Amino acid sequence: MNTALVTANPQGAIGLRSIAGRVGFLPALLVLLVAGMSAVDPQFYGIINILNILRNASLLAIVACGQALVIIAGGFDLSVGAVVALASVVTAKTMAAAATAFPGNNALIIASGMAAGLGSGAVVGLVNGFCVAKLKVSGFVVTLGTMSATAGVGLMITNGIPVYGMPDIFVKGFGRAQALGLPTAVHVALVIIIVMVFAQRRTLFGRYVYAIGGNVDAAIVSGVSIQRHVVGTYVVSSMLAALTGILLTAQVGSGQASFGGDRMMLQSIAAAVIGGVSLRGGVGRIEIVAISALFLTILGNALNLLHVDSRLQPVFLGVIMVAAVALDELSRRSKARV
């Protein structure tokens, strides 16, 4: 008897709109790009190239996942690039120090290095979270500040000089290792994406992150503790950035304050936004963000394989980025009016 009252509203319209709104056409665009590249250049689907793409996409995806989480909660994390660098040098320095203190004890050396790297990320995340949640300064400004400060600390530690002295096993057995035919970074990224997707869909934390980003006031009156979860998003974001820093360190074999930087920060936000995360908060899904990271990586790879002049590459990148999002936006608009 209730259903008889359902209105003139065409349910179909909502269905289509939700699909357009929730998946976007990024996956389609990705398929198109992959198909096009495979047709044009057989190098593209060479196994080594694919592994390169996957590894680089993984590194970006890990940072972008954390970034996405912060943006979904209504924030912004500009400090991720700097954290990548800080974690790299802290990890390398710690391992070098541990290696001289406990020579040969590789497990201890590696564990202490990774703990220090992740710890440095956690500290930056906590500072960000504290300033945003407790002092109520906007996330953009806080992370703009910590970006500068973190980069400064990273450089203070190293003076910009690469840090060596990590155990070989860390580089060969972790950074450059492959398992099941895939580089370590890919495995790590897959685990993180799965965990994050699960967290987003099935845990209180994920639910509250959506709620806070969707409407803070409503979340407050519904009894959601805002501060804890906001701090949580920044800590997760920073720790994922730190993890990326560690993976890069392991891969390259040295701790570098030049890792990350503005570029990584901009790319991670771009990946999140192109992956359908709304800068207004409350909307976005990790798996699409991961796809978007893959899309951006392949795009860069494609421009290189197609021998596009490296000075002109940014122009193509910019145009394609804008076009992709504009098309997505337009398709969503027209579908909403079926």
What is the contact surface with ligand ATP in residues (CB under 6 A)?
6-7, 9
| Region from 100-108, 115-123, 252-260, 285-293 binding another protein, contact rule CB under 8 A | 252-260
User: Which residues pair with residue 163 across a beta bridge?
Assistant: 255
> Residue 127 CB: number of other CB atoms within 10 A?
21
Q: What DSSP assignment string belongs to 214-240? A: H-HHHHHHTT--HHHHHHHHHHHHHHH
**Binders in 255-284 for another protein, by CB under 8 A:** 256-263, 266, 269-270, 273-274, 279, 282-283
Residue 263 CA to residue 317 CA, distance in Å, equals 13
Q: Which does 100 bind (CB under 5 to 8 A by kind): ligand ATP, another protein, none?
A: none
Q: Which does 105 bind (CB under 5 to 8 A by kind): ligand ATP, another protein, none?
A: none
210 belongs to the binding site for another protein (CB under 8 A): yes
Output the six-digit token pair for 221: 């009156």
Closer residue to another protein, CB minimum distance, 114 or 296 = 296
Closer residue to ligand ATP, CB minimum distance, 9 or 310 = 9
Residue 20 CA to residue 41 CA, distance in Å, equals 31
Q: What DSSP assignment string belongs to 6-50? A: --S--HHHHHHHHHHHHH-SHHHHHHHHHHHHHHH-GGGGSHHHH
4 belongs to the binding site for another protein (CB under 8 A): yes
Residue 213 CA to residue 272 CA, distance in Å, equals 15
Q: How far is the CB of 116 from another protein (least distance, A)?
A: 19
DSSP character for 75? -
**Binders in 279-318 for another protein, by CB under 8 A:** 279, 282-283, 300-301, 304-305, 307, 309-318
Closer residue to ligand ATP, CB minimum distance, 9 or 159 = 9
Residue 4 CA to residue 273 CA, distance in Å, equals 40
Q: Which does 150 bind (CB under 5 to 8 A by kind): ligand ATP, another protein, none?
A: another protein
Q: Do residues 282 and 203 make contact, with C-beta atoms less than 8 angstroms apart?
A: no
Q: How far is the CB of 7 from ligand ATP (least distance, A)?
A: 4
The CA-based angle 6-10-13, given to 5 degrees, is: 135
Q: How far is the CB of 294 from another protein (least distance, A)?
A: 14
**Binders in 81-140 for another protein, by CB under 8 A:** 131, 135-138, 140
**Binders in 32-91 for another protein, by CB under 8 A:** 43-44, 46, 48-49, 52, 56, 78
Residue 120 CA to residue 124 CA, distance in Å, equals 6
Q: Which does 311 bind (CB under 5 to 8 A by kind): ligand ATP, another protein, none?
A: another protein
Q: Do residues 91 and 246 make contact, with C-beta atoms less than 8 angstroms apart?
A: yes
333 belongs to the binding site for another protein (CB under 8 A): yes
Which of 105, 119, 169, 215 is in the footprint of another protein by CB under 8 A?
Answer: 215
Q: How far is the CB of 242 from another protein (least distance, A)?
A: 15
> Exposed e or buried b for every residue in 250-276, given b needs 16+ CB within 10 A?
bbbbbbbbebbbeebbebbbbbbbbbb
Closer residue to ligand ATP, CB minimum distance, 17 or 176 = 17
Q: Which does 263 bind (CB under 5 to 8 A by kind): another protein, ligand ATP, none?
A: another protein
Which of 105, 227, 254, 331 is in the footprint of another protein by CB under 8 A?
Answer: 254
Q: Which does 194 bind (CB under 5 to 8 A by kind): ligand ATP, another protein, none?
A: none
Q: Do residues 146 and 132 make contact, with C-beta atoms less than 8 angstroms apart?
A: no
337 belongs to the binding site for another protein (CB under 8 A): yes
Closer residue to another protein, CB minimum distance, 107 or 191 = 191
